[in-house]
Chains A and B, each alone.
Chain A
Amino acid sequence: MDYPTIYDITNSEIDINGLLAKLTLLSTGAAAIFTGMVRGKTKNGNPHETTYLEYEAYVPMAEAKMKQVAAEIRQKWPSIEGIGIIQRIGKLYPETPTVLIACTAAHRDTGVFDAARYGIDRLKEIVPIWKREVSPSGEEWIEGDYMPKPGE
């Protein structure tokens, strides 16, 4: 059975409904969708405002690593049917969705929630994408803290 795996790095608006349609088969009865957006006001930690985020990607490697994340999901949760991993890049303003992870399955209790969670966590570890935050007080690159290990 060939299940749909869709991954993309795009400068365009993320089309949640369009993606969901592509991940929905006749056998599909559940989807878990995670999306993250630009937070304009940060309250916890270091409270501050964000004017916009500017994302960039090492596109060919990022696509290869998204494909790898999807393969890891399929290995951990064999019941997953469709997988969608989309990252929007460029200059993105508060309230704008920046990333989307969607996993579909026959039923909600076979791992779709965990699979989507795993997808966003892994994207933030191994997919080469970076963002620069511009705020009223200046701008800085945001750096992660995950150092990939051999075999990743």
Chain B
Amino acid sequence: MNQIKVLFFATLRDRAGEKSVNIDIPEETTVQALKDIIVKTFPGLQKSIDSVVVSVNREFAFDENIIPESAEVAMFPPVSGG
């Protein structure tokens, strides 16, 4: 198992009720598989997950990408700075 950290921002933080969580995931877990794990852990995120943006180690990541060991993952809605 790999331990990773998942950060939540904006609506996802509100719906998860947490700023971040440390979780163990199997090796070779993809971003898509992590989304499924996160929704099981935080059912409140179900309605956010289809339009979520994911980053791994501060770069945008996509469903088929594999999450490396000790990764810093973040999940957030489309950005709205400016």
| Bound CA–CA A148/B79 (angstroms) | 10
Known: A128-B9, A128-B74. A143 touches B55 (CB 8 A): no
Interface membership of A124, Cβ < 8 A: yes
Contacts of B77 in A (CB 8 A): 130, 141, 143-144
Q: What band does the interface of chain B fall in when counting residues whose beta carbon is under 8 Å from A? A: 10 to 19
Interface membership of A142, Cβ < 8 A: yes
Interface membership of B60, Cβ < 8 A: yes
Contacts of B76 in A (CB 8 A): 58, 128, 130
Q: Is the CB of A55 within 8 A of B74?
A: no
Contacts of A56 in B (CB 8 A): 9-10
* CB neighbors of A among B30-69 (8 A): 51, 53, 55, 58, 60, 62
Question: Would you give the shortest CB distance from A71 to chain B, in whole angstroms?
Answer: 14
| Bound CA–CA A11/B24 (angstroms) | 35
Question: Would you give the shortest CB distance from B60 to chain A, in whole angstroms?
Answer: 4
User: Which secondary structure dominates where chain A touches chain B?
Assistant: mixed
Question: How many residues of chain A have a CB within 8 Å of chain B?
Answer: 34
| Bound CA–CA A58/B57 (angstroms) | 12
| Bound CA–CA A80/B58 (angstroms) | 27
Contacts of B14 in A (CB 8 A): 141
Contacts of B55 in A (CB 8 A): 58, 61, 128
* CB neighbors of B among A110-152 (8 A): 120, 123-132, 141-150, 152
| Bound CA–CA A145/B44 (angstroms) | 21
